């Protein structure tokens, strides 16, 4: 698929990269609907993300995430994904084949600053969340790079600048 044929825009990146806030602004600018995969998971299961992790573990959450992702990919929209979406081979293929993929990069320090007051992320509900973020990002970094069509550095740009960069690359 060529760039111009990829109308759907899929945002990937670590927790705290700004996928939801950048996604909402980008959707307004591109006049597309905005879909947040995590919000869709909550809406369809009627459970919070911590509840799903507590009841079904990470593997149960990942199964639901893949099903919800497939449904979201039916729409020509700006789609914000959860940070762990790239951990499954199936999800990476789905993402690569179904949209223009923007990798929103944030350093581990930035990820930590942006997530430290949020209790809604079970993956980092541990004693030392910064080390956990570092460990997770080390594993996932090559996976984001594998699926990306473009990279946007959210450390050094405002939301507005990130959105403008994406608009100029699609």
Residues that bind ligand S3P (CB under 6 A): 15, 19, 38, 49, 82-84, 121-123
Q: How far is the CB of 124 from ligand S3P (least distance, A)?
A: 8
Question: H-helix or E-strand containing 38?
Answer: helix 37-45
Q: How far is the CB of 82 from ligand S3P (least distance, A)?
A: 2
Q: How far is the CB of 3 from ligand S3P (least distance, A)?
A: 25
Q: How many helices (H) and strands (E) does the chain have?
A: 7, 5
CB atoms within 10 A of CB 131: 13
3-state secondary structure of 120: coil
Q: How far is the CB of 5 from ligand S3P (least distance, A)?
A: 27
d(CA 161, CA 76): 23
CB atoms within 10 A of CB 143: 19
d(CA 19, CA 41): 16
Instruction: Closer to ligand S3P by CB, 10 or 38: give it.
Output: 38
Instruction: Closer to ligand S3P by CB, 50 or 170: give it.
Output: 50
Instruction: Closer to ligand S3P by CB, 5 or 89: give it.
Output: 89
Q: How big is the CA angle at 118 (ends 157 and 12), to the nearest 5 degrees?
A: 45
Instruction: Closer to ligand S3P by CB, 15 or 163: give it.
Output: 15
Instruction: Closer to ligand S3P by CB, 11 or 31: give it.
Output: 11
- E-strand spans in the chain? 9-12, 34-36, 78-80, 100-105, 150-153
Q: How far is the CB of 7 from ligand S3P (least distance, A)?
A: 23
Residue nearest to ligand S3P (CB): 82
């Amino acid at each position: 698929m060529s760039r111009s044929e990829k109308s759907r825009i899929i945002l990937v990146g670590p927790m705290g990269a700004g996928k939801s806030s950048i996604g909402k602004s980008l959707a307004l600018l591109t006049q597309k609907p905005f879909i947040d995969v995590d919000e869709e998971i909550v809406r369809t299961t009627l459970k919070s993300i911590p509840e799903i992790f507590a009841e079904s573990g990470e593997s149960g959450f990942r199964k639901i995430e893949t099903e919800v992702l497939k449904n979201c990919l039916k729409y020509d929209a700006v789609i914000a994904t959860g940070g762990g979406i790239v951990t499954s081979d199936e999800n990476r293929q789905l993402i690569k084949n179904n949209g223009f993929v923007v990798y929103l990069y944030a350093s581990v320090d930035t990820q930590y600053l942006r997530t430290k007051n949020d209790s809604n992320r079970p993956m980092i509900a541990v004693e030392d969340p910064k080390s956990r973020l570092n460990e997770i990002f080390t594993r996932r970094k090559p996976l984001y790079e594998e699926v990306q069509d473009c990279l946007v550095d959210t450390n050094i740009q405002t939301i507005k600048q990130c959105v403008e960069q994406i608009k100029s690359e699609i």
